[in-house]
A and B are shown apart, each in its own frame.
Chain A
Amino acid sequence: MSEDALWYEAAQVVGVTNAVNVVADALGAGSPASSLLPPVGESASDDVRALFAEVRAFYDGDVPEPFRVMANDPAYATDVFHAVKHAFADNRLGRRFKEALAFAVSLTTRSPFGTAFHLGEMKRLGVRPRGVMEILGVAQMFSSYTKIADTLQLEPDMGHIAPADPSPAPGGCPSSG
């Protein structure tokens, strides 16, 4: 995991996972605010139908509720979904592992929607209970380490053990310095 490209991919997954979770948890079914911006139905408009078809194909199932909420602005929802789809697509990191990262993020941020949703996606993509337990354990143990470090206000002292990646940004030139 020494190449920066892998970390950029992971950061995208963390970002969009959180973005979808905040909408789902704040405005989804069961939330006191859910009636303020009701989920959009299938027959809303052609662009919504096209978006939902793409979402269904990506998740091989129903349209997750946060996309139905975001579809109150179809152009916005489409852009968000395409960012999500790109972030979770198989790339340098595989989709299966990206779902595991999203599960860890959702667990750590205590998102009921994200935890259930990404757990379901992990299982759909073939992760067995042992694999779920591994990610659960890592998230739990490092939630402990981080709070111990914060309580004692420890200063970072291990950053230097990771090698720096000298490669340029995609399509760019190597650093002259």
Chain B
Amino acid sequence: MPTVRLRTAAEYPESAQRLFELSKSWFNYDFAEPPAMSRVMAWDPEFGGHHGRAMKRMLMPGEFTRAEKEMTAAVVSGVNACEY
């Protein structure tokens, strides 16, 4: 059970809707409701915006492909024993 009440996308201001659209496009998936992490990050755009850009910058194809980097992210999450 989350320690905070996760707001629905509709409860966020207009500026956050743009972030949710970017999230859809990033995952190439039409979520009924943005993922919990996207909504958490949209709570404070001054934090979430920078954090999200840093993440995307690192996940962009470079010497390693996006798929390889997504696998690395999954492995790091697994090693951190993070269920989310």
**Which A residues lie at the B interface, using CB under 8 A?**
1, 6-7, 10, 14, 18, 97, 100-101, 104-105, 108-109, 127-128, 130-131, 134-135, 137-158, 161
Residue of B nearest to A1 (CB): B67
Residues of A within 8 A of B69 (CB): 134-135, 138
Complexed CA–CA distance, A108 and B68 (Å):
17
Total chain B interface residues with beta-carbon distance under 8 A: 37
Residues of A within 8 A of B74 (CB): 10
Instruction: Determine whether the beta carbon of A100 is less than 8 Å from that of B2.
Output: no
Complexed CA–CA distance, A161 and B72 (Å):
18
Residues of A within 8 A of B37 (CB): 145, 148-149, 154
Complexed CA–CA distance, A105 and B75 (Å):
7
Instruction: Determine whether the beta carbon of B62 is less than 8 Å from that of A141.
Output: no
Number of interchain pairs (Cβ within 8 Å):
120
Task: Tell me the smallest distance from the CB of B4 to a CB of chain A, in Å.
Answer: 6
Task: Tell me the smallest distance from the CB of A95 to a CB of chain B, in Å.
Answer: 13
Within 8 Å of chain A (Cβ to Cβ): is B82?
A: yes
Q: Which of B36, B51, B68, B70 contacts A154 (CB 8 A)?
A: B36
Residues of A within 8 A of B36 (CB): 149, 154-155, 157
Complexed CA–CA distance, A121 and B39 (Å):
39
Complexed CA–CA distance, A138 and B68 (Å):
10
Q: List 11 A-B contacts (CB under 8 A).
A: A104-B76, A105-B75, A108-B76, A138-B73, A141-B54, A145-B82, A146-B82, A149-B37, A154-B6, A154-B84, A155-B1
Instruction: Determine whether the beta carbon of A141 is less than 8 Å from that of B58.
Output: yes
Within 8 Å of chain A (Cβ to Cβ): is B45?
A: no
Task: Tell me the smallest distance from the CB of A149 to a CB of chain B, in Å.
Answer: 4
Complexed CA–CA distance, A158 and B82 (Å):
13
Complexed CA–CA distance, A138 and B80 (Å):
13
Task: Tell me the smallest distance from the CB of A96 to a CB of chain B, in Å.
Answer: 9
Q: Which of B3, B4, B57, B71 contacts A101 (CB 8 A)?
A: B71
Q: Given that A105-B79, A139-B72, A158-B35 are contacting pairs, would A150 and B84 also be in contact in the complex, using a CB cutoff of 8 Å?
A: yes
Instruction: Determine whether the beta carbon of B84 is less than 8 Å from that of A104.
Output: no
Interface centre among B40, B54, B70, B80 (most CB of A within 10 A): B80
Chain B 30-74 interface residues, beta-carbon cutoff 8 Å to A: 35-37, 40, 51, 54-55, 57-59, 62-64, 67-74
Residue of A nearest to B59 (CB): A138
Residues of B within 8 A of A109 (CB): 79
Task: Tell me the smallest distance from the CB of B1 to a CB of chain A, in Å.
Answer: 6
